[in-house]
């Protein structure tokens, strides 16, 4: 039996739709959502890209069999657009009620008459319908394989909201391990955390901290990605890593052959992180991925997480991370610490960054904030010999300082962002701006949100990847 469909919509688009459906007149109103789709082991997830509001009396008119219906012209126009853009078509209307909602018999009969043809018009769909109450939503989804159930709608913003057809059963979450933290956000909040799937790219200083903290917080599933090994130079920055993990007694020998053996058998950072997580929470599902997020097969393992952390410092990994966030409507955060050293070897600046990235224009897109410079992307794509030939200054022999206590400052805020967003603890008007901390001055700066309509990641232009899901490629390396 196929898994039920889910729908994710960003807060900006949801508020536009909600205001149209519930203007205060207690009447019925209509719209259409054009959506991308992501198919994963957790089931298909529709991704709202655009909302077409039906004008009362013009696009949303008295129905022949029901109270009201979308006009034939409006349906034809939007369905053609969805077919051209390779998007799904979801008709929307509202009913009365607050916490529960369902389709009428007339609604179902309308779906049965029209949706098989719409599946063909939209080149396979999916197509379907959603019906809203004030705090509930039900759905009926059709594909070429037949009819499918609808599970829930998730609204992604500074607070993450979930709407169901009817109120879910109250969780009975009484694990004493989480008693003190559940006093902050309740058993419901703890249950929400236990059902989250969180991705982490990079398991060095910041990523290994996040991995342990999230495990202790009670996150149910972590997907951690890193291809690097523990060695004697990173023991101080990888949580719980030991000299045994680094095979230090071999790696520090003068014999090159013994050093090579040591490097070969040193433990992977992801394996150390999984060991730490399992000690903190034996029930956690932990996917330790020995891989590079620049490879598409690895990146796709992160396209159905509920939140994504980037704790890697390469510009190419920023490119892929930013694309996943916007292409699959997944909230995320990039963290990092930087120590700038002058030509004379003196420390010039010590800074830490926590950059929430939400999947809508103005949500902190790394492209809009000019944090993915094309020149750096080009440099990273070159081989070592090509870099030397082009005389890039970033010499691999020049290693920046790195201290785990600096990683704490950026990772701590990002972990708290996740917790507060999903448990509903943030104030309604909170702004998740990028934060830069200047450690030597003990000051912090909030970076004003930037947004470009033409951005190929978060923008609304026809070429942007926002909410397209599986229907465009991620900017990963081409398979060899």
Where exactly does CATH 3.40.50.720 map onto the chain?
A: 178-228+268-447
How far, in Å, CA of 365 to CA of 360, rounded? 8
pLDDT value of position 66: 79
Structure tokens at 164: 């169901």
Where exactly does CATH 3.40.140.10 map onto the chain?
A: 5-163
CATH of range 5-163; options 1.10.540.10, 3.40.50.460, 3.60.15.10, 3.40.140.10: 3.40.140.10
Q: Which of 362, 315, 320 is nearest to 336 (CA)?
A: 315
Note the CATH number of domain 178-228+268-447. Answer: 3.40.50.720
Q: What is the pTM of this model?
A: 0.94
pLDDT value of position 392: 45
Structure tokens at 357: 């990235």
Query: pLDDT averaged over consecutive 10-residue blocks of the chain (480 residues)?
Result: 90 97 96 96 95 97 87 95 95 95 94 92 90 97 93 97 92 79 91 96 96 97 96 92 85 77 86 97 97 96 98 94 98 95 85 96 96 82 57 52 92 97 93 95 94 94 94 86
How far, in Å, CA of 92 to CA of 90, rounded? 6
């Amino acid at each position: 039996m196929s898994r039920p469909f889910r729908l994710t919509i960003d807060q900006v688009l949801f508020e536009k739709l909600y205001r149209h459906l519930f203007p205060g007149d207690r009447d019925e109103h209509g719209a259409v959502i054009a959506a991308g789709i992501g198919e994963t082991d957790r089931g298909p997830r529709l991704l709202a890209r655009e909302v077409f509001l039906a004008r009362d009396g013009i696009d949303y008119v008295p129905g022949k069999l029901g109270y009201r219906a979308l006009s034939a012209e409006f349906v034809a126009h939007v369905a053609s657009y969805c077919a051209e853009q390779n998007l799904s078509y979801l008709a929307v209307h509202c009913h009365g009620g607050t916490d529960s909602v369902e389709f009428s018999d007339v609604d179902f009969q309308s779906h049965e008459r029209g949706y098989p043809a719409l599946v063909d018009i939209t080149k396979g769909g999916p197509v379907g319908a959603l019906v809203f109450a004030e705090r509930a939503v039900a759905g009926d989804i059709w594909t070429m394989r037949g009819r499918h159930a609808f599970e829930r709608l998730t609204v992604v913003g500074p607070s993450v909201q979930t709407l169901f057809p009817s109120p879910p059963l109250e969780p009975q979450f009484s694990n004493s391990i989480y008693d003190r933290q559940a006093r902050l956000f309740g058993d419901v909040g703890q249950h929400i955390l236990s059902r989250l799937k969180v991705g982490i790219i990079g398991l060095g200083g910041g990523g290994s901290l996040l991995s342990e903290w999230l495990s202790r917080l009670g996150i149910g599933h972590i997907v951690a990605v890193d291809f690097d090994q523990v060695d004697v130079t990173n023991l101080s920055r990888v949580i719980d890593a030991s000299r045994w993990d680094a095979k230090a007694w071999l790696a520090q020998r003068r014999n090159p052959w013994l050093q090579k053996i040591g490097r070969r058998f040193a433990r992977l950072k992801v394996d150390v992180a999984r060991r730490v997580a399992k000690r903190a929470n034996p029930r956690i599902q932990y996917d330790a991925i020995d891989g590079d997020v620049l490879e598409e097969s690895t990146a796709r393992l992160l396209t159905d997480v509920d939140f994504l952390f980037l704790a890697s410092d390469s510009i190419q990994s920023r490119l892929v991370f930013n694309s996943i966030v916007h292409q699959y409507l997944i909230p995320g955060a990039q963290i990092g610490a930087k120590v700038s050293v002058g030509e004379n070897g003196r420390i010039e600046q010590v800074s830490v960054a926590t950059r929430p990235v939400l999947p809508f224009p103005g949500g902190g897109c790394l492209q809009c904030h000019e944090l993915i410079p094309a020149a750096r992307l080009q440099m990273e794509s070159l081989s070592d010999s090509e870099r030397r030939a082009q005389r890039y200054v970033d010499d691999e022999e020049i290693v920046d300082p790195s201290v785990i206590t600096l990683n704490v400052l950026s990772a701590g805020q990002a972990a708290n962002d996740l917790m507060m967003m999903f448990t509903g603890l943030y104030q309604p008007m909170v702004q998740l701006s990028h934060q830069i901390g200047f450690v030597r001055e003990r000051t912090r700066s909030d970076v004003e949100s930037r947004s470009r309509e033409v951005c190929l990641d978060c923008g609304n232009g026809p070429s942007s990847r926002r909410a397209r899901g599986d229907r465009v490629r991620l900017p990963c390396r081409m398979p060899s």
